[in-house]
């Protein structure tokens, strides 16, 4: 979720797809999220790495923020809005509560920090007005997130998350237009799949908790299909270099694993949450590569 930070672009050692499938198969048979100590440790390491990356994000100097860094920060606000709703749902449904609570608090602080940085960045009246509308939505969204999770309030959280992702997408589009370069377009385009890793997880958590929200199943299915369509599009294109080709293969492997979890007759929210963070980090790296940025620029 973070912005102009190198932390989340660093790869965390993950199991092979075969090993991951073994975990998933065990979960499906036993109806439990993890079946061995080593799998619990994997989850802890994944979440710790993500939280560390989040905490390091705001170290970027406001004065030094470059156009592409601002573009990426604007794009990552989309993900943060979805992550916060996902964490709210995880806490409410008793899924990795400690980790979700830490991530939620960190994400709230980062969203506000990023918003202030984007407002301070030299842009134009149109972007400033769009950021003002983000503040309006955020002023209603934040109190919901700060309250004790309640299944009855979950539909309202999802509704505000939807408003926020639409408005932050609008801001991202305006930053792309303002920058007017191919790298900004790449960050916007490939960065949307980062959002979808959290969006699919958010809807999945709501379904697993039994939340009664309008169009929940349809929104989940649409997000899964959209992610898959973008992956197919990227795979059909010739990768610009070997790094991107390798990143794409790794992301696709994680996505294939995710679709198996989604298709399971038993809900496996812990596995879905951990896999979503793994895909997020991989897509963060892919976005950096597509944009042609150095490792410490995204």
CA-based diameter of the chain, in Å?
Answer: 56
pLDDT in tens, 135-145: 999 999 999 99
Q: Is pLDDT larger for residue 287 or for residue 104?
A: 104
Residue 76 contacts residue 1 (beta carbons within 8 Å): yes
How far apart (Å, rounded) are the C-alpha atoms in residues 225 and 234? 14
Per-residue pLDDT, 298? 46
How far apart (Å, rounded) are the C-alpha atoms in residues 271 and 148? 24
Q: Is pLDDT larger for residue 18 or for residue 1?
A: 1
Per-residue pLDDT, 19? 35
pLDDT in tens, 230-263: 888 888 877 778 888 888 899 999 999 999 999 9
Per-residue pLDDT, 46? 52
Per-residue HEC secondary structure of the chain comes to CCCCCCHHHCCCCCCCHHHHHHHHHHHHHHCCCCCCHHHHHHHHHHHHHHHHHHHHHCCCCCCCCCHHHHHHHHHHHHHHHHHHHHHHHHHHCCCCHHHHHHHHHHHHHHHHHHHHHHHHCCCCHHHHHHHHHHHHHHHHHHHHHHCCCCCCCHHHHHHHHHHHHHHHHHHHHHHHHHHCCHHHHHHHHHHHHHHHHHHHHHHHHHHHHCCCCCCHHHHHHHHHHHHHHHHHHHHHCCCCCHHHHHHHHHHHHHHHHHHHHHHCCCCCHHHHHHHHHHHHHHHHHHHHHHHCCCHHHC
Q: What is the pTM of this model?
A: 0.78
Percent share of the chain, pLDDT over 90 = 60
From residue 183, give the alpha-carbon distance in Å to each of 177, 188, 298. 11, 9, 12
Nearest of 274, 271, 256 to residue 32 by alpha carbon = 271
pLDDT in tens, 86-126: 999 999 999 999 999 999 999 999 999 999 999 999 999 99
Per-residue pLDDT, 55? 42
Per-residue pLDDT, 29? 41
Per-residue pLDDT, 294? 56
How far apart (Å, rounded) are the C-alpha atoms in residues 35 and 19? 13
pLDDT in tens, 14-68: 223 333 333 334 434 444 444 444 444 554 555 554 544 444 444 444 457 889 8
Per-residue pLDDT, 163? 99
């Amino acid at each position: 979720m973070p912005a102009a930070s190198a932390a989340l672009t660093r790869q965390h050692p993950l199991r092979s797809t075969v090993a991951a499938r073994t975990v998933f198969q065990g979960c499906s048979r036993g109806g439990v999220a993890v079946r061995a100590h080593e799998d619990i440790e994997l989850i802890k390491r994944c979440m710790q790495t993500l939280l560390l990356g989040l905490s390091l994000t705001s170290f970027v100097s406001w004065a030094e923020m470059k156009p592409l860094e601002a573009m990426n920060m604007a794009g990552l606000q989309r993900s943060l809005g979805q992550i916060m709703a996902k964490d709210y749902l995880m806490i409410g449904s008793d899924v990795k509560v400690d980790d979700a609570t830490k991530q939620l608090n960190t994400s709230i602080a980062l969203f506000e920090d990023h918003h202030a940085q984007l407002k301070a960045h030299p842009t134009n009246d149109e972007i400033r007005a769009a950021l003002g509308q983000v503040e309006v939505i955020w002023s209603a969204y934040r109190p919901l997130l700060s309250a004790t999770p309640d299944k009855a309030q979950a539909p309202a959280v999802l509704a505000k998350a939807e408003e926020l992702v639409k408005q932050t997408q609008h801001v991202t589009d305006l930053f792309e237009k303002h920058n007017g370069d191919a790298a900004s377009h790449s960050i916007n385009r490939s960065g949307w799949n980062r959002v979808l890793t959290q969006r699919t997880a958010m809807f999945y958590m709501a379904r697993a908790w039994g939340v009664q929200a309008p169009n929940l199943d349809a929104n989940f299915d649409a997000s899964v299909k959209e992610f898959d369509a973008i992956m197919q599009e990227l795979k059909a294109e010739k990768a610009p270099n070997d790094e991107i080709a390798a990143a794409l293969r790794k992301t696709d492997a994680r996505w294939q694993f995710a679709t198996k979890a989604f298709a399971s007759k038993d809900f496996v929210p812990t596995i879905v949450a951990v896999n979503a963070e793994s895909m997020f980090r991989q897509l963060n790296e892919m976005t950096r590569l597509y944009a042609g940025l150095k490792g410490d620029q995204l």
